Chain A
């Protein structure tokens, strides 16, 4: 599996431009993290969102992790309750040993040693106007400050967005850049998470998330939270053509299991969420394999293939 992933990453580095998180291919408006006093029914079950940035081994220049609109306030973010922004969010960057390899880092929930690795930088944002709708840059980082992942043949950095005091929702996005004040993509870079919390676009838009199916996966189970039952979730892959998945209601989790075919292995499943209403909705989503291990969602899908239609021909009986 590891070799295959490396193979894929090496073969298509130019095609992977996943430095924007969420990426264009995901068609997700923004990531969102609510502060800890926000009720879970607003869509964030744990007030923490962890992303992992992947920098390929061959890239040996400094890079930056940029956050768009990191503050909690202003134009983009969601104020709740008294409609006054009184929240803060901390963004932390981790690298070094254990940043990703620690089992707690790969969990669904922010428990245990999920802040594993070496803290490289952090910053707490509140309602500072100077950061509103602005890019804030962390770095520069030397790629080798990350944790080397042999399966990916690159370095992994962990980005944790953690809602602190307050109850507002912080909408933001990331970009892995070669430049400190410009979004210049890094060839071969990518990002992944084990649990997605994001804001869905309005009615008619389809959000895509891409759980990666490795050779050990024979079945997946998707979990979604607070989808308010106002849309559909469908699975697309080489073997699935819009396979329905269960949709959660307000402030609740729902899940559905789906078998995995051999053709789907080493590829991403396109998990599509179709909005049917115009209201803003923030959801959380994760996928487990048959061992209840979380499956990575890559910002830029790896090895995804379109559904291959299969026809079964039944000979017409002679009259």
Chain B
């Protein structure tokens, strides 16, 4: 037998004085449970514990008790049974045969049952067809089909009182009566017939039938407990598996088995029974039960055992994985270390060194070690003592006394002393030589919290300040942030069986070191806290680490953390620095209330498998149903949601992460607070997604989802946009149509107007044409008159050698005119240009011609200047230009008088020149600047120029119509210069050719432009 096993045996045998720990957590009035009688217990799919009580149906979510169904105030009844069926409906029965059904939405409906069915509802059963069987104490059984049909099966003669009812297979039932256990079967004719009495069970009062897996527990009032099962499903033959006849002195109310093959049995007056390996433990009020009158036992999903009492509310069996033990006097002491020395247990406590039989009077021991039968005891302030079993003596006082020792460790004859001021001191216990590692030889600093010598003889030093030092063959290595270590302090170091170094830290959680790589484990991996003060490994592949408020165990097999919250598992227990010790196969926990041992048998890791569920959803502070999508009109909303993942053992370790899909991209950090708040929700579809961890770092794979739909603004809605587009199209189309119609109307109006105007214009045109024709006819007639007044060209022919007259009236009648007459000795000819053209010009020409004729014929004047004077005078008179009436009408004229005999031509010009060519030379005689007619009152004088025509002379007279004609490539006037050049260049031609050349030149120059004035050019050759 190994010594350590002896030690463990010693722990359990020698230290029999275990501390008192309340193993039952009461729930009564003080905890908010107003009901005292608990008749039935179950758990819903969300993990809520449901209670049938004398006051109503109660829900407990780990925080508070809520009433689901409350009986009427004056009703003298109680709810004593219920069923949570496969559809999440809750069927509730009372002791007066009344039944209610609460559906999954919370709607409660009373089931109509005949009034004669008035005895207590014993229990409900849902069969394979979803039919609900309601058993009563004395009125038989009612079957409710999903359609609502009822079948009532009264008891036959065998049954007077039904105490329990349990379906076992399709349409077969066990009924516990006061005379034993009966098997009944529903036949096709809808009768409930007795099959047989179960002979395996004594003929006594059957108090309880419970189904657990394929077994049935049958409790009796005075014949113990039985566990039976069907041999074959169809034959309805039972076989007995286990019986507990020794329980015959207890009136058994309920039985349930938990992990580790522990059977729990409740009795109606004798408390709770625990059976394991045929060992019976009886729990009574003196053991912490609030009552010994128990009702139902229930095992929840976390393996918690719930115990209903009659009169004292509810209890929960608390399975502590830590078993306290103590030596007298240390219960209130903070224990720092523990060691087995000389088959006796020694503890380093705040008030001294304790052993099993008492205090040894050393103050402030903090670390223990032994070597060659000697117990080394370190103190914080006074160095190290040797204890020989009777007394203490200082050990190497000169070396250790002033060093504020944190820990001592002995390995291979070496004493390792971790100090706060001098670093690490390593002393060879054989020769008392020692070596010191401190800042002078490379240590980061001198405050060493603890040390550890691993299997490779490396000395690991857990240092303050977040630094880890290791001494390997005298060489100091420093590990810190660069190696990925992020902590305030390192507390302890240990090595597992695989050679992996584990380091606990304050602030950084847990680290492992293997193959030169540090790996971190923190809260996100399931560690209960990142502030660790102690660490140890055990031989079962577990890494234990502790903070002030709990312990975590990391299983190398499952690679998971399992947390033990001290507030839950060890009441008011604070774990010491370096308070975890692995001793043999067991874990020892040192703390401020003595010592606890890890009880592996009771270490049931209760991880909550309950569903995460909403408990409250508030939108703008108004409650909303959360079992369906929430649809909201467009507006401003805030969302506050509360949710829960129920755990009755690990509630504080459960964490939540959430995000609002639609506003956020991913889950936020983990919180313990089961609520969230979003002050401003965006419009559109959004999903609030929440996941929870079970306290051991296992997060939900599927999130809890709350679907929200906030109506988008109307202007963002597709139909609105479509309507807008259609509206715009409609408006545009309407506008187009309107415009078209309007245009059409306008067009019609215009057409009508046009037609009218056209008709009018036509009419006017016709009228105008008619008038024009009349005018034209008049003008044509005037032309004829004018032409008739023009001299006969015969005179020209007679008086000249050749001649031409280029006469191009701008209109039909002309203001220009040529005139000639003959006297006996004179041939008088002129080219004149009256003011205006057309009819006015022609009228002026008529006046001027008349005056010329009158001057020649009446006044016989042949002097050209005098002729012009007379004509001027005559025109003025004719036009009354000598009166006040202002009129500038008149005439420019070039007048030549040929003195036939003298072969001389006298020329006087009024505003017009005379061109003549003699000897191929063109001469120009400018006329007077005075014009014929007009308002000039002064007497006009006209010069007389003489031209000898005895030689060949060509005389040219013209109006200004030729030279003033616009045209040419630049639209300019023809100009006199070009006219003169034309005359010069063409004078050699015959007079008719000259006329054609002039005419051609004029037409070419004018081009498509309009003729601006009457044109007259006359050429006479003498």
Contact = CB atoms under 8 A, between A and B. Distances in A.
A180 B96 contact: no
A142 B205 contact: no
Contact of A140 (B95, B138, B268): B268
Contacts of A181: 269-270
A179 B270 CA distance: 9
Interface string B89-129: 00000011000000000000000000000111000000000
Interface string A108-120: 0000000000111
Interface string A34-70: 0000000000000000000000000011101000000
Contact of B311 (A61, A120, A121): A61
A119 B269 CA distance: 21
Contacts of B293: 61-62, 140, 180
A76 interface: no
B36 A60 contact: yes
Contact of A123 (B77, B96, B178): B178
B205 A123 contact: yes
A122 interface: yes
Contacts of A137: 251, 269
A137 B222 CA distance: 10
A236 B904 CA distance: 203
B311 A62 contact: yes
A62 B310 contact: yes
B178 A122 contact: yes
Contact of A142 (B37, B160, B251): B37
B54 interface: yes
B37 A62 contact: yes
A118 B94 CA distance: 13
B942 interface: no
A179 B310 CA distance: 12
B78 A142 contact: yes
B76 interface: yes
22 contacts: A61-B293, A61-B311, A62-B311, A96-B96, A118-B120, A118-B137, A121-B161, A121-B178, A122-B161, A123-B178, A137-B251, A139-B268, A140-B293, A142-B78, A144-B54, A144-B76, A144-B77, A145-B95, A145-B120, A148-B76, A180-B270, A180-B292
Interface of A: 60-62, 64, 96-97, 118-123, 130, 137, 139-140, 142, 144-145, 148, 179-181
Contacts of B160: 119, 122
Nearest to B118: A118
Nearest to B80: A142
Interface string B142-172: 0000000000000000001100000000000
B140 to A, nearest CB: 13
A180 B178 CA distance: 18
A318 B178 CA distance: 82
Interface string B250-282: 010000000000000000111000000000000
B269 A180 contact: yes
Main secondary structure of the interface of B (DSSP, over half): loop
Contacts of B270: 180-181
Cβ-closest 9 pairs across A and B: A180-B269, A61-B311, A62-B310, A62-B311, A144-B76, A62-B293, A140-B310, A140-B293, A119-B138
A125 to B, nearest CB: 12
B51 to A, nearest CB: 15
Contact of B268 (A119, A123, A145, A180): A180
B120 A60 contact: no
Interface string B21-40: 00000000000000011000
A118 B310 CA distance: 20
Interface string B55-82: 0000000000000000000001110000
Contacts of A142: 37, 54, 78, 95, 310
Nearest to B54: A142
Contacts of A145: 95, 120
A115 to B, nearest CB: 11
Contacts of B95: 96, 142, 145
A148 B120 CA distance: 17
Contacts of B118: 96-97, 118
B178 A60 contact: no
Contacts of A119: 119, 137-138, 160-161
A118 to B, nearest CB: 5
- Highest count of chain B CB atoms <10 Å: which of A64, A119, A130, A140: A140
B36 A64 contact: no
Nearest to B268: A140
B311 to A, nearest CB: 4
A297 to B, nearest CB: 26
Nearest to B39: A142
A39 B269 CA distance: 39
B76 A118 contact: no
Nearest to B96: A96
A61 B36 contact: yes
B679 to A, nearest CB: 48
A140 B161 CA distance: 16
A97 B76 CA distance: 10
B468 to A, nearest CB: 62
B161 A179 contact: no
- Highest count of chain A CB atoms <10 Å: which of B77, B119, B138, B269: B269
B119 A118 contact: yes
Contacts of A120: 137
Contacts of B311: 60-62, 140
B251 A180 contact: yes
Nearest to A130: B222
Interface in B200-215: 205
A64 B137 contact: no
Interface in B636-677: none
Contacts of B96: 96
Contacts of A122: 160-161, 178
A124 B293 CA distance: 24
A102 B37 CA distance: 28
Contacts of A144: 54, 76-78
A179 B137 CA distance: 24
Nearest to B163: A121
A259 to B, nearest CB: 40
A155 to B, nearest CB: 8
A62 B293 CA distance: 8
A63 to B, nearest CB: 9
Nearest to B138: A119
A263 B310 CA distance: 44
A139 B205 CA distance: 12
Given A140-B293, A144-B54, A145-B95, A64 B269 contact: yes
A219 B771 CA distance: 157
Contact of B269 (A61, A121, A148, A179): A179
A138 to B, nearest CB: 9
A60 B160 CA distance: 28
B37 A118 contact: no
A203 to B, nearest CB: 39
Given A119-B160, A142-B95, 7 more contacts: A60-B311, A62-B37, A96-B95, A118-B118, A130-B222, A140-B269, A142-B54
